[in-house]
């Protein structure tokens, strides 16, 4: 008993001493922290308003808006793979943990949301997803199956496990609740976390999720091929860059007013029956085709805006979003070359051949390669009962003019979960918001800012307008968001629009858009 009393006395003395430390001294105390398979690389206390240098090839510096203890570390996930990560621990902490996702094929720590999370008083942790490289760089995967496993499922898990241990060691208290924030690949990581590691997070925000990964990337190859990739110069169906604004305007001409308002936004692209033949040149033999399309180009458009079906008639991937072509990022997919993300994935993972040329990529190849699913990268599973049973909550969203991932893919995934759980209504744990006029994760002419990514998206700092804060309110106060209000950044006065949870739809009542159930 005396030994126990001595230990408790020493522990009390340590905590008393720690309480008297400056923020910098308290931060530096983490240098001696020993965690399983983890090496602390550097620890620094950073003042608000600073710029810090960053490791890796993705960026050279990052902004720090609030005072933090910055921890840089690496986790050895196997003998041939490792995850580098950073924890930003704010001086003013509200007891919450925030894990962050990634984008594309990338191995980039999400510094924008490390800064965002810490300004909202979350202890925030982001990783490089198990490798160093940009959103379309698949070369780290070549002949490295464990690096692929980190990317597919493991990085976010170890980020959560080790990140929480660092947070609790720093603040000397337990975390109250744990959250995750991500979009695109980050959205897929959110769904994968709920499926594979339901204990890691209490709440997940997963935007524009790249679920059905292989079909998604295969669709990007097929869409490029429709307009002549990889040999556009010899293809009559090639559509040059100057024609896409013409096409985009014609889509608006045909469909903008379907929701009752001509505002440059198509509320529900599924209601638009776009007829590309309206752009057909009246004189197909003319060489002046700067404002009209030839028959092969019209046929290419038909294919782009309809689902991709397999050799047996089954749908392989949903149709591309109308008005996605209005975004500059669209150029990569329809430049007449194969999408850079598709090149990175197929060459380095699917075919394991950096010289694969796509000359012989066809529908049969598309179908067969879907079976190559390392780390369950497809993330196409609706069994979320374990996450649901423990009280976990998911808020997901998708822009309806997404230029990279079809918003109908999110509808399909929602319905997959619904049918798997034999539950027509998922409102008790999963809510999907479709965002008119928003591109991939952000941007576009719509009211796209609702706290989903970065300080710029937090136009109104309230749970009614911020999807991350709405998730906190749902998890901690059982206040489920009936809708979410988005803003147009920079508008004066602030332009807002209410975004509806599926299956409700946005309906114009003569003065405003409201949410209603529409059969």
Q: Catalytic residues, which ones?
A: 184, 402, 440
Per the structure block, which two tokens stand in for 442?
Answer: 């952000």
Which residues have a Cβ under 8 Å from the Cβ of 172 and sit 6 or more positions away? Answer: 15, 18
221 to 30, 143, 146, 335, 353: CA distances (angstroms): 47, 22, 26, 12, 16
Q: Which residue has the tokens 């897929």?
A: 188
- Report the distance separating Cα 119 and Cα 112, nearest Å: 11
- Report the distance separating Cα 176 and Cα 98, nearest Å: 11
Are 401 and 252 contacting, i.e. CB atoms less than 8 angstroms apart?
no
DSSP 97: E
137 to 167, 345, 442: CA distances (angstroms): 32, 8, 22
- Report the distance separating Cα 404 and Cα 106, nearest Å: 15
- Report the distance separating Cα 289 and Cα 197, nearest Å: 54
- Report the distance separating Cα 402 and Cα 435, nearest Å: 10
Phi, psi for residue 330 in degrees, rounded to 5:
-60, -25
- Report the distance separating Cα 177 and Cα 202, nearest Å: 6
> Sign of the C-alpha dihedral, residues 376, 382, 383, 389?
positive
| Cα end-to-end distance, the chain, whole Å | 71
Helices 213-226 and 295-304 pack at an angle, to 10 degrees, of 170
Q: What share of the chain is helix, strand, coil (3-state, %, to 5)?
A: 35, 20, 45
Q: Which residue has the tokens 């196997």?
A: 78
- Report the distance separating Cα 119 and Cα 102, nearest Å: 19
Task: Count CB neighbours of 325 within 10 A.
Answer: 23
Per the structure block, which two tokens stand in for 499?
Answer: 């975004």
- Report the distance separating Cα 348 and Cα 281, nearest Å: 42
Question: How large is the C-alpha radius of gyration of the chain?
Answer: 24
Length of the chain equals: 519
Containing H/E element for 399? strand 393-399
- Report the distance separating Cα 411 and Cα 433, nearest Å: 10
Containing H/E element for 430? strand 430-435
């Amino acid at each position: 008993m005396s030994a126990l009393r001595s230990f408790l006395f020493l522990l009390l003395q340590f905590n008393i001493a720690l309480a008297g430390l400056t923020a910098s001294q308290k931060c530096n105390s983490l240098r001696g922290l020993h965690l399983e398979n983890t090496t602390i690389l550097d620890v620094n206390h950073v003042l608000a308003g600073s710029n810090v240098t960053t490791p890796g090839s993705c960026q050279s510096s990052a902004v720090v808006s609030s005072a933090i203890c910055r921890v840089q570390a690496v986790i050895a996930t196997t003998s041939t793979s490792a995850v580098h990560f950073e924890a930003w621990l704010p001086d003013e902490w509200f007891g919450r943990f925030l894990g962050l996702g990634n984008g594309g094929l990338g191995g980039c720590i999400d510094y924008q949301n490390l800064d965002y999370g810490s300004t909202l008083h979350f202890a925030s942790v982001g990783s490089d997803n198990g490798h160093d490289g940009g959103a379309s760089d698949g070369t780290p995967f070549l002949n490295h199956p464990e690096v692929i496993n980190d990317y597919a499922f493991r990085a976010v898990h170890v980020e959560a496990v080790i990140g929480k241990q660092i947070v609790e060691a720093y603040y000397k208290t337990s975390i109250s609740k744990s959250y995750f924030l991500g979009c695109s690949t980050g959205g897929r990581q959110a769904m994968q976390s709920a499926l594979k590691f339901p204990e890691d997070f209490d709440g997940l925000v997963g935007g524009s999720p790249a679920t059905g990964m292989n079909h998604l990337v295969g669709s990007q190859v097929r869409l490029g091929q429709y307009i002549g990739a990889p040999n556009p110069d010899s293809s009559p169906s090639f559509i040059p860059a100057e024609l896409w604004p013409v096409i985009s305007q014609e889509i608006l001409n045909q469909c903008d007013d379907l929701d009752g308002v001509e505002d440059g936004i198509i509320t529900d692209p599924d209601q638009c029956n776009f007829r590309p033949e309206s752009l057909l040149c009246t004189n197909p033999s003319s060489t002046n085709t700067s404002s009209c399309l030839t028959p092969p180009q019209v046929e290419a458009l038909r294919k782009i805006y309809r689902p991709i079906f397999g050799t047996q008639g089954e749908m392989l991937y949903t149709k591309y979003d109308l008005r996605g072509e209005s975004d500059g990022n669209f150029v990569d997919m329809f430049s007449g070359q194969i999408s850079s993300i598709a090149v990175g994935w197929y060459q380095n993972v699917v075919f394991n051949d950096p010289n694969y040329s796509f000359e012989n990529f066809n529908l049969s190849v598309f179908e067969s390669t879907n079976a190559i699913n390392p780390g369950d990268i497809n993330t196409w599973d609706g069994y979320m009962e374990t996450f649901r049973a423990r009280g976990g909550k998911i808020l997901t969203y998708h822009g309806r003019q997404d230029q990279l991932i079809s918003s109908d893919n999110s509808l399909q995934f929602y319905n997959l979960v619904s049918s798997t759980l034999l539950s027509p209504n998922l409102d008790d744990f999963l809510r999907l918001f479709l965002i008119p006029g928003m591109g991939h994760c952000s941007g576009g002419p719509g009211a796209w800012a609702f706290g989903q990514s970065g300080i710029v998206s937090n136009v109104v700092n309230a749970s009614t307008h911020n999807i991350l804060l709405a998730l906190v309110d749902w998890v901690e106060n059982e206040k489920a968001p009936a809708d979410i209000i988005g803003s147009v950044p920079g508008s004066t006065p602030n332009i807002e629009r209410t975004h509806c949870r599926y299956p409700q739809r946005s309906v114009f009542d003569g003065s405003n858009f409201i949410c209603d159930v529409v059969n």
